[in-house]
Structure 1
Amino acid sequence: MDYKIKIRVDQKLSELFLDIKNSKIDIPIHINESFSTKFLDIDALKWLNINLKLINGPPLHTLLKKDNIILPSPPVIEPSFEYKERIRKLENRLKNKQYDAMTKNVDFRRVKLPEDTISYHIKQINKQLIAVLQFVISTAAGFLFGFHGIELIVNKTFDLGFKLLLGIICALIIALAEIYFLAKKLAEDFEIPEEQMVIKEHKD
């Protein structure tokens, strides 16, 4: 990807370049190539600005037109198939949820959605509390293992500072592992089976 600003060479710039060329001014190779390709970069513009003054040409800014300035544009990245599929599933889920919310007062079989019941929220709170408690217990157990367990395994007494360091290291390792598995579990809970992602077809 070329991120340089370029100027398209029009007839006026070409004529001025020929005037500079005819005035016996040395022209670098890359400047010749730039005018040959009809696109000037910043270095070519600087060279042109200096040499226009030598031939008493017009100021460079009067030669630049908006249509001739080519600005770099970022590359367009096509979304991956997995990303599109996940967006499709989320859209279907949202549509199903909105439809259920609109029709729950009409269809007596779905007067309440699962999310509207107290038991549903209690279960969610319990799951979150258990996850937090498990995280705390695992981290504390890791700290105790580093603080006392390693000392018992090697049958050697360490000073307090070193024991604290071992405990903190073990606790951090376990905490990172727990966070990873917790995030993975939350992602799995968020996923919906494929058959539930299809928009429901309701008969009148």
Structure 2
Amino acid sequence: MTELSKRRTETRRRLLDAAAEVFAEEGFGRSTVEQVCARAGFTRGAFYSNFASLDELFLAMWEQRSHDLIESMRTAFENVGSAEVSDVRSVVDHLLPAIPVDDVWFRVSAEFTAHALRNPALRRVMTAREDAIVEAAAPFVEDLLARVGRVVPDRAALGQALIAVHDGTAVQCLMEPDNPAVRQRRADLATHVLTAYSTENKGRS
């Protein structure tokens, strides 16, 4: 990597980090390029040499976040020994810690989702990227389920169901962060969904 590309990568990283803070504090709809630049310590020129708009910057943040999530899941899967997974609930117990409930990210992503619902082009981009996340993460889930003798007939349906579980229960976890019953119910619901969207592998010896 050349010195110029290193500087560009660092500039993008600082802009992404600054944007996450500004979006979480001010709200996506009230944030400006100037606020992001001031937080990152750059000029507008530095911003526009990397991103065409705040929408594009957010999508880059989401892509980075998705990459980090997939890597976290990969690490969690690699750390699971074959003897440690005995049923669907144990699969959930290994997967959920790899999918953090993040207050800052939830505030940012929830507001941007509302923004995208008013913009058909953005809505299509977000849908496509969500599908890509499911496709990248599904093999980890399927491999863990295979260890307990279950197969997934419809990967897309399971992926959408798990996203719905995560998004819905994340709100409850953030509203009551010190209530262990909320996280218990989150794990219970994920277990029910994995069971409902998978079937017993009849050919398993």
TM-score range with shorter-chain normalisation?
Answer: under 0.3
Bigger CA radius of gyration = 1
Provide TM-score, normalisation by structure 2: 0.23
